[in-house]
Amino acid sequence: MDICIGGPWNGCKILRGSSQYRSRFTVRDEITGNLVKYKKSKIQLGSKNYTFWISSNLTDDEVDNILRKLYSSYKRA
């Protein structure tokens, strides 16, 4: 499973399918009507590889903070 970060699909898990071969995808935010692009980012935590789809609306600092929180919760588990 892949996990979306930011945008209208924040926290959503999507099943791998044809998306595993793509590097980005676009969705329309139902509330604002704006298009939101998600870019694929592969990250290794411990011995496991994870795929995150990160919204282009997030700044690098916001992404860094979110991933640090995920990593710290991973280390505690």
Ranges of each domain in the chain: 2-76
pLDDT at 15 over 70: no
Dihedral angle computed from the Cα positions of residues 9, 11, 12 and 14, in that order, rounded to the nearest 10 degrees:
110
**Residue bearing the bigger pLDDT, 38 or 9:** 38
Q: What's the pTM value of the predicted model, to 2 decimals?
A: 0.74
pLDDT at 74 over 80: no
Looking at residue 65, its pLDDT comes to 92
b/e 15-41 (16+ beta carbons within 10 angstroms → b): eeeebeeeeebebeeeeeeeebebebe
What's the rounded Cα separation, in Å, for the pair 17 and 32? 28
pLDDT at 62 over 90: yes
